[in-house]
Structure 1
């Protein structure tokens, strides 16, 4: 898979190119506590298809936010974990989470 082309000089656009979309931040959040296998990630994000999860993991690996370790066993054993750059995203996710909590509370919107 071709790496994401970061063409903008704007740091906000760069961040959006790397992390934008419905799934990437959720995947990174699932990896915050350490290494996980594909099935564990799927359980943590039940509404993502396996195909989409694999595609998004490949994009995150191409961006050097996630690493993949293949043990070369049968049956296959593959694990995913955050890189140093991926871990740097965690404070951003925490701020997004706080914003969502405050927004929901202020609007009296039922949480999901």
Structure 2
């Protein structure tokens, strides 16, 4: 199971970085989303989840599952959804203003 989770995190990270290096706004947004999913899975897996154990320490329980990574991932999901919505609206505004969705650092009119 650990190999599957590690492979999933690596694949999401690689795909996210590849898409973030593209020169268009939509692939950059998808890349940021995939990268945030990879980080969320990494944080969730770091909590050492065990099936059948409670999230709260009880006197008669043999152990417990740490609830902090679960709370962090839940908060990160909400924040990443909100930030994705903001980035999509910003990219739509830039598209409507410029007429294209390329991400260029240089202005073509300023080139010699």
TM-score grouping bracket, smaller chain normalisation: 0.3 to 0.5
The structure whose RCO (Cα within 8 Å, separation 6+) is larger is 1
Please report the TM-score for the alignment, with normalisation by the length of structure 1. 0.36
Structure with the bigger percentage of helix: 2
Structure with the bigger percentage of strand: 1
Please report the TM-score for the alignment, with normalisation by the length of structure 2. 0.36
Which structure: larger Rg? 2
